[in-house]
Structure formats: structure tokens, C-alpha cells
Amino acid sequence: MKYRRKIFLEDKIIERLKQITKKVSGDFGVEIVNQETDKDHIHILFKSNPKTDLTKLINSLKGVSSRLLFKEFPEIKKKLWNGALWSPSYCLITTGQVTLDQLKKYVESQGKNASI
């Protein structure tokens, strides 16, 4: 994407982001099945209760992760256009037409070393 910056290049940043998403998701009662970063975004496969407020979950994931990553890795902020880690948009896909295994394979293929 035009405005994305490649900030997920170091293992320590990637691992910290994954820790944060697991913690925040757990606070919402959501189970992370798999997650992988690309250089400029993250794919998260999760299981949730139908009553989970997904908008609140995603906003919390974005807010907490940006706050903690900026605090722990201040060099990230210098690489961004306007100091914002995440764009206001997101893509949310339900598993109605594909199997869980297909989704897992897709998320795994999005790792930083994957070439698609």
C-alpha cells in the first residue's frame, strides 16, 4: 500500500507485537490461532464468541500495540508518515467459505520471509 512503512523487520519488534496481540485478545476472551507479520502489517487468525465486539477488539489491538511499541522501540515512530503505527482501516474476514486449515496456511504464508 502507498502509505505503509516497513517497520516489522526485526524479530524483537515482531515478537513483542505478537505478545501484545495475544494479551489484548485474551483480555477480550479471544483466542489467537495464528499470527504473522509482513514487513508493514500483521495477519491475525483468531476464534471469538459471536457476541465479541470486534470493533472494540481491533481498536484495542491497535491502540495498545502502538502505545507499547512506540514506548519500547522509539525508533519506529521516526519511520512513519504521521507518527501513526496503524491506519484507521482494517480487513476482517469470517470463515464461512474456507476451512480453518486453509486460513492457517494463508496466515503462515504471510511471514516476513514469505514471497507471494
State the catalytic residues.
Answer: 106
Q: 84, 50 in Cβ contact below 8 A?
A: no
The per-type count for the chain, helices as H runs and strands as E runs, is 4, 2
List the one residue out of 1, 54, 44, 39 whose CA is nearest residue 19. Answer: 44
Q: At 45, which helix (H) or strand (E)?
A: strand 42-47
Torsion of CA 50, 51, 55, 59, to 10 degrees: -110
